Structure 1
Amino acid sequence: MADSLINQNKVPMIAITAHPTKYNGTQDPESWLQDIRFFCRLHGIDEEEDIVSFSMLKVDPMIYVPEKTSTFSGLVKALKSHVTYPVMEASALHNLRKLKYSSNMEMSDFISTFLSLCRSASVRNLEEQKSYLLNSLHDDNIRNILSTKFRNVDEFDWVIKIFQGILYEYPLHQIRYGSRITIKHCVTGQYLSHGEHKPIEPGSQSSRVYCNGCKPKENEVWIVTSPYSENKSPGDPVRFNSIIGLSHGKSRANLSASNDRDVLTSLGKDKSCNWVARRHTTESGYHNDNNGVWAIGDIIILEHVNNKLPLYTRAQDYEGNQEVVLEGDGFEENNKWYAEIIGQ
């Protein structure tokens, strides 16, 4: 009885309910037809021919659809054969290329927009989809991480899961002004360290720095600070090639360097306490590209601002400590370091 009432009331119910939008060539035909089919099913219209007949009434008159069209595939084919379809497709591709992810966006909204544009632009190849996802990122560093993660993935669902996971996790790994870090030498595994303040000469505010220990303790903790004469906001990420200061966590002395290339800590602060964190690359040692944010595990060169020389370690002294100086050209293995975060 209920079914017969629904069938009797098909037209009146459709007439009084908000209709799907008219197709005018600006939509993806398949998505638009899906909305029509849902609308019809909601009102008890199940026959394909009836749904197609109703759909044709919602197509703009400028778009030709043969009168004898009676199947979903035939309708979609007619809509795609009109000149508006390639224009819409090209527009979607243009917007896909411009699409950028921001940490202020909801991930679900971004992914939904991305998938919709891929469909409208007929981008179905997995490698192309990976490429557009990577291009949506502003940060070269995270783009490189994801590119490596994507390399052997052959399922789109996993691509999205990896994208989401890295984007959510990566900010926790970024080094920021105020971060408490250890600085580890890549070759030896020793940490940049500073013990009790022992002046290099009576009355001096400076004492020596060295590398020691394969397990970091309190003497190996450094705080990333604003450079001399600048005031960076605590919590802001440190971009590569930014000038920074490094304050010893326990003594609060600042990492500095003398004119004779000795690396020291100073209880005062001046331009000798300024350093540049440069990203290391296998091709060129280090370079001046300031894209990307310094993060855990990034191989870096710590370059002194005054003389442009990088941090370097030499042979162990008589106490088993590795001497730290300014030396090398950025290509040497002894110039390579990476950071580990103790806390933000």
Structure 2
Amino acid sequence: MLLQMIYDGNIHPDEWLRQFNTYCFLKKITEDNVKLAKMMIDSTIHVPKDVTSLTELVSALKVEVSFTVFKNTNKRKLQVLKYKSENIGGDTSKFIETFRKLCRDAEIDDLREQKEYFVETLPYVLKKKFLDKIDDIKSLSDIFLRFNNLLIEPTSNFFIKNGSIVALRHIATGKYLSTIENLRYETGSGSQMVFLGDTEPHHTSLWKIKFDKDYATIDTFVTLQQRFDKFLGIRYDYSNYYKRRENYYKSPSQNTEVSCNVIKENDNDNKWRFDTNDLNYQGCLKSNDIITLSIKNEIVKDRYEFLRGHDFQVNIGKEVYEEVVCHNKGIGVNDNWCIELIE
């Protein structure tokens, strides 16, 4: 335990003093505490010789350069900290513990600043909902309590309506179906590409879902519209029309290319049929349902092709993207998507 008590600048001085006092209590050390504490400070850290109390010692450590570096390091850690829910491998309890300790170690005590940092840790789907609940928060504990209450709300029963904004999370990878304006295939149709993006949804992975009734049921045909009035779909290759080689454009992996295009809302090439094998399915599409999406191949009779997050990587410029395609092979884990209601 003695070796664990060495102060080397990688612990907050107040926390180090607490652990040192605990050590002295357990060992029943009541004399020469200051002398012992000085011996437990790494030799690379300067301690003034005229320090005569533990309070003075901690104050000296706080003005030493290593503590400034330590605080700024923890502030940067706080800036990049992101919350992940348990369904994608996160741990809410450990996240709260980490956030609390980083605030302590970065000496961020102002509640307004704590709220700002906490909001930035949240994914898009939670950030908007949480911002509606924090106007009268009076402490860091209030922040955690409101957040916990938000997580236990019965969101799993939120049915998706015509016109809802949704995100589609790929089950196998945890990444979201995404598209970026002007990111285009360099082969095939040259259309705006769709791909597996980040593990948190944001504006590039939000879709307006539309169908011809209030609620979607099994076999309902839906359209998924991104920004700029573009729809998720497949495109027919008219360049081979006169050669009588009827086909849809192929992706770099030689599957059916999926893209985002300005096409009519009632066009068959952007109407997707959803299905689910969930035994708890309640008859209408709801947030967090696990689904497959398929689209009718108008060339081959009675053929439907399934939307798949493929493990094929595509180079566009200097960037590498994970391709999303359609296929008519057996359905597998890469064809499963979790639909999440955003608003």
Instruction: Please identify the structure whose Cα radius of gyration is greater.
Output: 1
Could you tell me the TM-score, scaled by structure 1's length?
Answer: 0.49
Could you tell me the TM-score, scaled by structure 2's length?
Answer: 0.50
Structure that is richer in strand per residue = 2
